[in-house]
Structure 1
Amino acid sequence: MKKNTELSLKSIYILYAGVFFFVVVGYTGALWYFTAFDSVVIWISLGLAATLLILGGALLWTMRVKMRGMIGKVDDIVERAINKQERITGYEETSISALEDKVHRYVDMSMTHEKNIEAEKSKIKALISDISHQTKTPLSNIILYSQLLGEVAGLDKESSQYVDRIKLQSEKLDWLIESLVKMSRLETGIISIQTASLPVVGAITQAISQIYSAAERKGIEVRISCDANVKARHDAKWTSEALFNMLENAVKYSESGGRINITAHSSEMFTRIDITDTGMGIEEKELNLIFRRFFRSKRVAEYEGVGIGLFLAREIVTAQGGYIKVTSKVGEGSVFSVFLPVL
């Protein structure tokens, strides 16, 4: 920064010096012309021009030296303020001292603000962890007991239905709490996504394995076309989570006997993963809304869900330096394209 500032100032000095030189030379030449090149006038004007050029050069040089010293001092002030070192000017009543005082106060405020943010993150992290723990254990017990109840011999049909409903609703609540915890951790920056240049086929197959049973029950064909050498800089675990959320929607909103195709290929800057389905499609006016937290279209009101899957998917992909695009036609299906950086 200091070097760039000095180069900029040097260009300004050269510009002003050039303008001053041409003004003096032009004025001298005009004077000679209008005095018919009188020898006395020529010598006087030459002396005056030389004096002006020397004085102007000295002034510019002095300004340059002072400005360089000022830039160096300001640079030292900022550096010392950041590193919490002793002040240069002490507490003198000068403009540079006032600047130093402001810089120190600004750095102190910034550091205090940063510490407060970190403290808040720690509190939120502890709160989320506590909520997750306090709800996870009771829910796990409810699910376990409902499974045990379902295995009890002699239950009548109505009782069995009640047990199945308890188990199903408990699993839904468990999934919802887990999703909300993930969402909160992503938004507060608590989750650290570790990216590396890896083949994307691992994340894709992991995501498919989580929805394959549901797709099979509906007779939905799932195909994958991805070369093992197709790589992207990503966190395989979290990329799999994002892809799963999109694939889950593809299965949920596709009719029985539908198809889901997953393809991946790399370009110079990004690796593109396309998830194409033959589902109900998305209205054009809703394409910019589907990634909002808790957004659900009126057309899918009868389907289960709370509207955080796509929000989580976008947050995960964005945190890795990528983005998601969607194209869709109502009644024909949708294409979710995930772009992940190659480098």
Structure 2
Amino acid sequence: MNLLTLLLFCALCGTGTALGMAVRRLRLQEQSMENAAARIREYLLDRRKGGIECNEEGAMYHLFHEVNSLVTIADAHADSERQAKEFLRDTISDISHQLKTPIAALNIYNGILQQEAADTATVQEFTALSEQELDRIESLVQNLLKMARLDAGAITLEQSPENLSELLEHIREQYSFRAEQEGKEINLEGDEQASLLCDRTWLTEAIGNLVKNALDHTEQGDRILVRWQQSPCLTQITVEDTGSGIHPEDLYHIFKRFYRSRFSKDTQGIGLGLPLAKSIIEAHRGSIEVHSEIMAGTTFIINFPIQMG
């Protein structure tokens, strides 16, 4: 075998080896693509979840990496949609349950009114009771609408600097008649020059709910103190009372919607005041916490970070 033939033979062997390796690599890539396609089909059929494994580098790796990113995003969206459906289902169930009691009461009262139409005292008594139940329904619906708007991000807070002393005095005046009728005190304490960047209407709603909650859980002779103070980075508002306190078992749950304690004597509340207050405060980038001691009172602490211009 001469030199030319030998070189030609070696070249053919090298080419054959290279072709063989190329074919083998193509087959491996084809197998990887088939596996990836199978994983994608399985994911779409929801038989199993997870990304596509790829130990290679280069374009194939980048392709699979992008597919895995899409899978992660799709999983997140699916979980979010599932949670939204569960929330809607639970909310509708809660609304239905909460409306049954006042509607059933109204039906009973109306039946009594029809039977006792000639008895003026009875008519007056059950007309007042009917009005009370209608007020509960209106309060329930209004609070649910407010919370739904907050949850959906459909509310734009109209924030402006508000004098805290004036804002909190307005809340005190709202509840002063009830406090006087029940033999309770509502006192204010804080710097009269302090101000807070907030939506006055919504913040009044939130703090007003805390004051109302304090009135609901105090007795004649008890006191409610609304106090505020500021530091260079924080505005703090506290609503504290000398009432019955919150049972330790309930502290973790009091901001849950429709939560009703088995220890509470409040039979009229619908369980939305505190969750609504929390949502409003958090919409202002604030936080709320609670400390309580049985038969010693409860303190709600609200913190708002100072917003730098």
TM-score (norm 2): 0.61
Higher alpha-carbon Rg: 1
Report if the CA contact (8 A) 1:200-1:236 is conserved.
no
1:262 Cα deviation after fit: 1.0
Show the 5 A alignment for 1:316-331: 316-331=280-295
Asked whether 1:334 is paired with 2:279, we answer no
3-state SS of paired residue (2:213): helix
3-state SS of paired residue (2:263): helix
Show the 5 A alignment for 1:52-67: none
1:285 Cα deviation after fit: 3.1
Q: Which residue of 2 aligns with 1:273?
A: 237
Q: In 2, Cα distance between the equivalents of 1:302 and 1:338?
A: 24
Asked whether 1:223 is paired with 2:187, we answer yes
1:207 Cα deviation after fit: 2.1
1:155 Cα deviation after fit: 6.4
Report if the CA contact (8 A) 1:197-1:342 is conserved.
no
1:162 Cα deviation after fit: 1.6
- Within the candidate set 257, 265, 271, 1:293 is matched to 257
Report if the CA contact (8 A) 2:240-2:300 is conserved.
yes
3-state SS of paired residue (1:288): coil
Report if the CA contact (8 A) 2:217-2:266 is conserved.
no
Report if the CA contact (8 A) 1:231-1:342 is conserved.
no
Q: Which residue of 2 aligns with 1:284?
A: 248
Residue type matched to 2:215 in 1? V
Cα RMSD (Å) of the superposition?
3.5
Asked whether 1:314 is paired with 2:301, we answer no
Q: Which residue of 1 aligns with 2:220?
A: 256
1:194 Cα deviation after fit: 2.6
1:301 Cα deviation after fit: 4.7
- Within the candidate set 150, 169, 175, 2:139 is matched to 175
Q: In 1, Cα distance between the equivalents of 2:150 and 2:254?
A: 18
1:222-260, Cα deviation, whole Å (9 max, x unpaired): 111122211222211111111011100100110012111
Show the 5 A alignment for 1:183-222: 183-222=147-186
1:199 Cα deviation after fit: 2.1
Show the 5 A alignment for 1:46-195: 156-195=120-159
1:182 Cα deviation after fit: 0.6
Asked whether 1:234 is paired with 2:198, we answer yes
3-state SS of paired residue (2:161): strand
Q: In 1, Cα distance between the equivalents of 2:219 and 2:181?
A: 11
1:216 Cα deviation after fit: 1.2
Count of paired positions: 219
Q: In 2, Cα distance between the equivalents of 1:285 and 1:166?
A: 34
Aligned pair in 2 of structure 1 residues 281, 186: CA closer, same or farther (>3 Å)?
A: same
1:306 Cα deviation after fit: 1.4
1:38-67, Cα deviation, whole Å (9 max, x unpaired): xxxxxxxxxxxxxxxxxxxxxxxxxxxxxx
3-state SS of paired residue (1:299): coil
1:99 Cα deviation after fit: 7.5
Report if the CA contact (8 A) 1:203-1:236 is conserved.
yes
Report if the CA contact (8 A) 1:279-1:334 is conserved.
yes
3-state SS of paired residue (1:224): strand
1:166 Cα deviation after fit: 1.5
Q: In 1, Cα distance between the equivalents of 2:173 and 2:141?
A: 22
1:299 Cα deviation after fit: 1.4
3-state SS of paired residue (2:249): helix
Q: In 2, Cα distance between the equivalents of 1:299 and 1:183?
A: 26
Report if the CA contact (8 A) 1:186-1:315 is conserved.
yes
1:302 Cα deviation after fit: 4.4
Identity %: 27
Report if the CA contact (8 A) 2:216-2:266 is conserved.
no
Residue type matched to 2:298 in 1? S
Task: Could you list the structure 1 runs, at least 4 aligned residues long, displaced by more than 3 angstroms after superposition.
Answer: none
Structure 1 unaligned blocks of 5 or more: 1-94, 118-123, 125-141
1:209 Cα deviation after fit: 2.4
Q: In 2, Cα distance between the equivalents of 1:199 and 1:302?
A: 33
